[in-house]
Structure formats: structure tokens, C-alpha cells
Amino acid sequence: MRTGRIAILAILAMVIFLSGCGVKMDEPTPVIDVSTLIENGWNSYDRGDFAAAKAAFDSVFFFTVNNPEAYIGLGWSLIQLGEYEDALPYFSLAMTADTILYKPMIVPITNEEDTGTQYTTSYGLDVYEIPVKNRPLVDVQEVKSGVTSVSVLWITDSSVVVPASEASSDVFTVTYEYANINDAEVNREIAPAVCLGIMGANYGLGELESAMGGGRAALTFAEDTLLFEHYPTINVHKTKLTLAQIYFRAGYYQNAVSVISELDTTFSFPDSISPYDPDNFNIILEALNGLD
């Protein structure tokens, strides 16, 4: 018993010595304010210091993995640094960071069987128009006629148009993405910044269909007003112009003509000729180059 008391007294003496005899205990580490880290990130971004912005947003994930704004900031910082491939996953994470409260803005559908495909003639071409069940459609990854992949001529909010000449049957499956516009559980506050980021990163990588999907989804969620305060030059006009360029590069010439007509009311593509005739590509390209 005596030995035990001596040990306890020795411990107490050491505690008293450390706390009261000139030796200061370490001060508690201050709680990190994640909102301050995000603010620092955007301040660096707005100054054009994208490397510092990247570091600030990245540091948020030491404290939480559930912050969509940090994912958006990191994704946009990487785009500005030209690191497009690294940027893309962060926009996907921004869409799904809080799956308890929010649903993804862009939803993939794989191998949907068509119902009600129509055979018709348009622009002098024999085509099949394939309706999709989930709308608005924003991009198409693949269309198959039987087991054969066919090219896409143009898309609408509700359908895909393919050349009849490439089809082995009139039964199709479509792999596509749609904007989840009708779901009340989508985080609309961040939707434009996320979708624009998807467009920008994919465009930088040359992934035109996915870039198309991001742009179309951004316009769908934004409706008439498209603002991203940290990239003020982005607006509805600029997004449509970028989409027109994507359409032309991807071979969606009718979509390109349609957007050019929206942006320039003086432009009129002749009804008597086809936008799919290579001899007429220069008409589209000149009109596109004349836009700003």
C-alpha cells in the first residue's frame, strides 16, 4: 500500500510541476473553419492564382468529404490549369457528394430499347427518329441497330435521329444521358456550375458528346439566366456558342444550324440544301466564325 501511495503522489507532483512551475501546456488546436478554406480558394481563383486555389480547395477534404462547393472549386481550378482529365471526377463528386439530400443532375441510361421509332425523310436523308423515355435528352453515347453501332445525325430533347442507311433493322437500343430537371431533390443552386464544368473539362479532352451533355444540361437548369460568379464571361450566349462549335465538330450539323439561327437572327440556312452535304459545310462554318 505504501508503494502505491508513493507512486500516486509522484504523478500528482509531476502534474503540479508541469502546470504551475513555468512549463506551459500546449494550447488546444483551433477548430478549422471549412468555409474559410473555401473562401480562400475562391479568392485565389478570382485573382488568377489557380495553383493556390487548387491547394485551398484540396485542403477542405482533410476535414470533410461532403462539400459540393469544394469539389466544384477544385474542378474549375484544374480546368484553368489545363488538367482536364483530373478535373472531371470532381464534378461527378459534386453531383453525388450529398446523396442523402440531393440527386445527380445528369443521369445515364444504358441500352434503353426504343418504343415508337419512326421512319421519315429529312434534309434529303432517309432517317429513323428514335424517342427516348427520359427527358430532356442531353447527349448520346451509343445507338445500336441490333448489334451494330450507328452514327447520330442530330438530337432533340426527346429523340435521337440516325441514318436509315446504317441500320440493320428498325429495332434500336440507345445509351444516353438526360438532365434530371423534374426531380425536386436535385441541388439546383450548384447545377449550372457543375454542368458547365463537365462541358469545359470534356471539351478540353475532346470528348465532344459528353461536353455536349454538360452544356445542354447547364442551359436546361439555368433556363434564361446562366451565371457563374467566378467565371463572369460565361452566360447563355457563350454557352450556346460553345455548343454550336461542339455540334459542328461532332457532326451534329442540324443542331449547329439551329443554335446559330438562335444566336444570329439574320442567318438562314437554305431549305433547299442539306447541312449534311460536305459542299455546304462552309456555309455553317462561316456563320459560326462570324459569331462572338
SS3 readout for 8-35: HHHHHHHHHHHHHCCCCCCCCCCCCCHH
- Point out the domain boundary residue: 161, 179, 197: 179
pLDDT digits (tens, 9 = 90+) for 234-252: 888 999 999 999 999 999 9
Same-domain status, 139 and 253: no
Cell numbers found for residue 140: 448520346
Cell numbers found for residue 239: 454557352
pTM of the model: 0.85
pLDDT of residue 227: 67
Q: Is residue 59 part of a domain?
A: no
What's the number of domains the chain is made of? 2
Q: Is residue 23 part of a domain?
A: no
Same-domain status, 161 and 256: no
Q: Residue 224: pLDDT band by 50, 70, 90 thresholds?
A: low
Q: Which range has highest mean pLDDT (100-114, 142-156, 182-196)?
A: 142-156
**Nearest-CA neighbor of 256 among 227, 280, 279?**
280
pLDDT digits (tens, 9 = 90+) for 63-91: 988 899 999 999 999 999 999 999 999 99
My answer on whether omega of the bond before 232 falls inside 30° of 0, hence cis, is no
pLDDT digits (tens, 9 = 90+) for 114-140: 878 999 999 989 999 999 999 999 999
Q: Residue 20: pLDDT band by 50, 70, 90 thresholds?
A: very low
Q: Is residue 33 part of a domain?
A: no
Cell numbers found for residue 253: 450539323
Mean pLDDT for the chain overall: 88
- Point out the domain boundary residue: 152, 179, 206: 179
Q: Is residue 4 part of a domain?
A: no
Q: How far is CA 119 from CA 122, 129, 137, 156, 285, in A?
A: 10, 6, 20, 16, 29
- Point out the domain boundary residue: 149, 179, 209: 179
- Does 231 have pLDDT greater than 50? yes
pLDDT digits (tens, 9 = 90+) for 39-62: 999 999 999 999 999 999 999 999
Q: Which structural domain, as residue segments, surrounds residue 239?
A: 84-104+182-289
CATH classification at residue 253: 1.25.40.10
- Does 97 have pLDDT greater than 80? no
